[in-house]
Amino acid sequence: MIWNEEIECINRKELEEIQLKHLKNAVERAYNNVPFYRERFDKIGLRPEHIKTLKDIEKIPFTTKDDLRDNYPYKMFACPLKKIVRLHASSGTTGKPIVAGYTRKDLDIWSECVARIIVAAGGREDDLAQIVFGYGMFTGGFGLHYGLEKVGITVIPSSSGNSERQLMLMQDFGATIVVGTPSYVMYLSEIAEELGIPKKNFKLRLGLFGGEGHTESMGKELEERWGILATSNYGLTEVIGPGVSGECIYQDGMHFCEDHFYPEIIDPETGETKGYGEEGELVITTLTKEGTPMLRYRTKDITVLNPEPCKCGRTSLRMGKVLGRTDDMIIVKGVNVFPSQIESVLLETEHIGPHYQIVVRREGYMDSLEVMVELANRELVDNFRALESLEENIRHKLRTVLQIDAKVRLVEPKTLERFTGKAKRVIDLRKQE
Ligand code: DLL
């Protein structure tokens, strides 16, 4: 089944005409309403009317996460706040988040795009979907919620955490779809196992996973454990949230909602445009977004675009798995974590030095984050009570800033590795899978 056959199976030439029309509007709106874009354009003598073909998009300067941070909270908005009906946010490199504003039309388009992805993955009106993404400023919970409702699927908005209760609801309500990060859903299966709940108590048949990627082996494991089809869908707060692209039942790349989001692949070093099938950084331009339009937003996600038609009949470009990121952001349990956030907590805490190391592991199927930090001197080394309370204090502050739990380990002075070149603070042991 295809949610919006007219657009999802459109011939490429017709699609390009629609994209060009939308692009011209988007550029004009951004130029006229957001001083940031106007200044960028004026500086290089670019005017909206210079965008005559899709290829002309390459004349537009890139937008980066730093630009959004510099314009926090509302300066990237292209319409007055009274037109904005929802705000979402995601963590940035400093304490300040990245803000996204949605008009009523943006919300309609958002749920339309998410609906396409749900149906492509095999979601149907008679399904019951349990959302185990966190609700709140994160776009995952609300984003999937409204898309599922649009399809007519019964939503169980249980949100994340309280895993035993999740499992109870999942059994009692007979959920057929689970929506969440792959690592959390894997963790849920471990808990179900520990509790001795037999597999037959669950009716799940489909997993809609996103917010982070999953390897093929992790996908297979999820499929076996739950008896589901494990699909991935992609998005980011800056662009809209989930709904940018998603896998169909053939699990062979994520179909891009190209009439709303225009993708490009660039060389992250030179900024030059790369061709289909070539690996590079994904850059997205929002074609219809009213609240916070993004022109050539650099996602920092490394991937490839595949133009081959898909077995499912959709004609959209398919995005490959995210192969990595160009910055130091790590995703732990679906939450974006920047080493700089951890550093800022450590640096403002007494009795510890500036040397630290972050270790990310996958324990079973759950991510874990450990922060090792050196004591500033030997003063506290033998004082167990003081060490315990210092660890607790750091743990608490990290939880407040990162919104996830980290293990904290204090180590003796001068025991962590020192660097002569760039410091490598993050050891991501998950990459060795
Ligand atoms: O994670 C939006 C989302 C929520 C997408 C739920 C899908 C489902 P942010 O918190 O802003 O937004 O994080 C965006 O997460 O740049 C990628 O690095 C990563 N990411 C998201 N989905 C995937 C995926 C949401 N399916 C950042 N595969 C992005 C790989 C993903 N990485």
Residue where a domain stops, chosen among 271, 294, 324: 324
- Beta-ladder partners of 318: 255, 306
Estimate the share of the chain in helix, then strand, then coil, as percent rounded to the nearest 5.
35, 25, 40
Identify the residue whose C-alpha is closest to ligand 1 atom 31. Answer: 212
> How many percent of the chain have pLDDT more than 70?
97
Residue where a domain stops, chosen among 324, 342, 375: 324
Q: Could you tell me the distance, in angstroms and rounded to a whole number, from the CA of residue 210 to the centre of ligand 1? A: 6
Taking the CA of residue 241 as reference, the ligand 1 atom at the shortest distance is 2
Number of domains in the chain: 2
Q: Could you tell me the distance, in angstroms and rounded to a whole number, from the CA of residue 189 to the centre of ligand 1? A: 22
Q: Distance (Å, rounded) from C-alpha 271 to C-alpha 327? A: 15
Q: Distance (Å, rounded) from C-alpha 324 to C-alpha 312? A: 27
Q: Could you tell me the distance, in angstroms and rounded to a whole number, from the CA of residue 354 to the centre of ligand 1? A: 31
Residue in 241, 254, 233, 309 with CA at minimum distance from that of residue 98: 241
DSSP 63: B
Q: Distance (Å, rounded) from C-alpha 54 to C-alpha 76? A: 23
Taking the CA of residue 98 as reference, the ligand 1 atom at the shortest distance is 11
pLDDT in the model for residue 92: 53
Residue 34, pLDDT > 50, answer yes
Residue 363's SS3 state is strand
Q: Could you tell me the distance, in angstroms and rounded to a whole number, from the CA of residue 237 to the centre of ligand 1? A: 8
Taking the CA of residue 232 as reference, the ligand 1 atom at the shortest distance is 26
Q: Do residues 258 and 115 both lie within one domain? A: yes
Phi, psi dihedral angles at 279 (to 5 degrees): -75, 140
Measured over the CA atoms of residue 10, residue 15, residue 17 and residue 19, the dihedral's sign is positive
Identify the residue whose C-alpha is closest to ligand 1 atom 1. Answer: 211
* Structural domain harbouring 364: 330-431
Residue 12's SS3 state is helix
**Whole-angstrom Cα Rg for the chain:** 23
Identify the residue whose C-alpha is closest to ligand 1 atom 30. Answer: 213
Residue 357's SS3 state is strand
Q: Could you tell me the distance, in angstroms and rounded to a whole number, from the CA of residue 177 to the centre of ligand 1? A: 19
Please report where in the chains the tokens 């219809």 appear, as a residue. Answer: 288
Give the domain CATH number at 399: 3.30.300.30
pLDDT in the model for residue 422: 47
For residue 368, CA distances in Å to 14, 343, 371 come to 47, 18, 10
With bands split at pLDDT 50, 70 and 90, how would you rate the model's confidence at 74? very high
Q: Could you tell me the distance, in angstroms and rounded to a whole number, from the CA of residue 65 to the centre of ligand 1? A: 15
Q: Do residues 366 and 219 both lie within one domain? A: no
Q: What amino acid is encoded at 340 in this protein?
A: S
Element holding 133 (H helix, E strand)? none
Q: Distance (Å, rounded) from C-alpha 28 to C-alpha 48? A: 5
10 Å Cβ neighbour count for 250?
13
Q: Do residues 98 and 217 both lie within one domain? A: yes
Identify the residue whose C-alpha is closest to ligand 1 atom 27. Answer: 236
Identify the residue whose C-alpha is closest to ligand 1 atom 9. Answer: 236
Phi, psi dihedral angles at 129 (to 5 degrees): -115, 125
Phi, psi dihedral angles at 27 (to 5 degrees): -65, -45
Q: Distance (Å, rounded) from C-alpha 89 to C-alpha 139? A: 8
pLDDT in the model for residue 412: 94
Q: Could you tell me the distance, in angstroms and rounded to a whole number, from the CA of residue 181 to the centre of ligand 1? A: 9
Residue where a domain stops, chosen among 324, 347, 362: 324
10 Å Cβ neighbour count for 70?
11
With bands split at pLDDT 50, 70 and 90, how would you rate the model's confidence at 423? low
Q: Do residues 151 and 274 both lie within one domain? A: yes
Taking the CA of residue 246 as reference, the ligand 1 atom at the shortest distance is 26
Residue in 209, 284, 206, 193 with CA at minimum distance from that of residue 244: 284
Q: Do residues 292 and 366 both lie within one domain? A: no
Residue 91, pLDDT > 70, answer no
Identify the residue whose C-alpha is closest to ligand 1 atom 28. Answer: 213
Q: Distance (Å, rounded) from C-alpha 284 to C-alpha 260? A: 10
Q: Do residues 145 and 68 both lie within one domain? A: yes
Pocket of ligand 1 (CB under 6 A): 90, 133, 139-140, 143, 210-213, 232-237, 241-242, 299, 301, 322, 325, 331, 336
Identify the residue whose C-alpha is closest to ligand 1 atom 8. Answer: 210
Residue 116's SS3 state is helix
Q: Could you tell me the distance, in angstroms and rounded to a whole number, from the CA of residue 48 to the centre of ligand 1? A: 31
3-state secondary structure 232-282: EEEEECCCCEEEEEEECCCCCCEEECCCCEEEEEECCCCCCECCCCCCEEE
Q: Do residues 172 and 278 both lie within one domain? A: yes
Best residue for ligand 1 mutational test, from 111, 116, 212, 254 (most atoms within 8 Å of Cβ): 212
Give the domain CATH number at 140: 3.40.50.12780
Higher pLDDT, 109 or 377: 109
Q: Do residues 359 and 283 both lie within one domain? A: no
Q: Do residues 338 and 292 both lie within one domain? A: no
Give me 310's structure tokens. Answer: 């898909």
Residue 205's SS3 state is coil
Q: Could you tell me the distance, in angstroms and rounded to a whole number, from the CA of residue 83 to the centre of ligand 1? A: 26
Note whether 210 and 143 are within 8 A (CB): no
Phi, psi dihedral angles at 87 (to 5 degrees): -120, 140
Q: Do residues 208 and 354 both lie within one domain? A: no
Best residue for ligand 1 mutational test, from 65, 236, 238 (most atoms within 8 Å of Cβ): 236
pLDDT in the model for residue 420: 54
DSSP 367: E
Q: Do residues 320 and 389 both lie within one domain? A: no
Condensed to tens digits (0 to 9), the pLDDT of residues 358-381 reads: 999 998 888 999 999 999 889 999
Q: What amino acid is encoded at 62 in this protein?
A: F
Q: Do residues 368 and 268 both lie within one domain? A: no
Q: Distance (Å, rounded) from C-alpha 5 to C-alpha 315? A: 10
Identify the residue whose C-alpha is closest to ligand 1 atom 6. Answer: 140
Q: Against a cut of 0.95, is the pTM above it?
A: no
With bands split at pLDDT 50, 70 and 90, how would you rate the model's confidence at 339? confident
Segment 320-335 shows an average pLDDT of 85
Q: Distance (Å, rounded) from C-alpha 184 to C-alpha 205? A: 17
122: left (phi over 0), alpha (psi -120 to 50) or beta: left
Q: Could you tell me the distance, in angstroms and rounded to a whole number, from the CA of residue 69 to the centre of ligand 1? A: 19
Measured over the CA atoms of residue 211, residue 212, residue 214 and residue 218, the dihedral's sign is negative
Higher pLDDT, 134 or 124: 124
Q: Could you tell me the distance, in angstroms and rounded to a whole number, from the CA of residue 414 to the centre of ligand 1? A: 37
Q: Could you tell me the distance, in angstroms and rounded to a whole number, from the CA of residue 180 to the centre of ligand 1? A: 11
Identify the residue whose C-alpha is closest to ligand 1 atom 13. Answer: 236
With bands split at pLDDT 50, 70 and 90, how would you rate the model's confidence at 216? confident
Note whether 177 and 119 are within 8 A (CB): no
Q: What amino acid is encoded at 299 in this protein?
A: T
pLDDT in the model for residue 385: 95
With bands split at pLDDT 50, 70 and 90, how would you rate the model's confidence at 348? confident
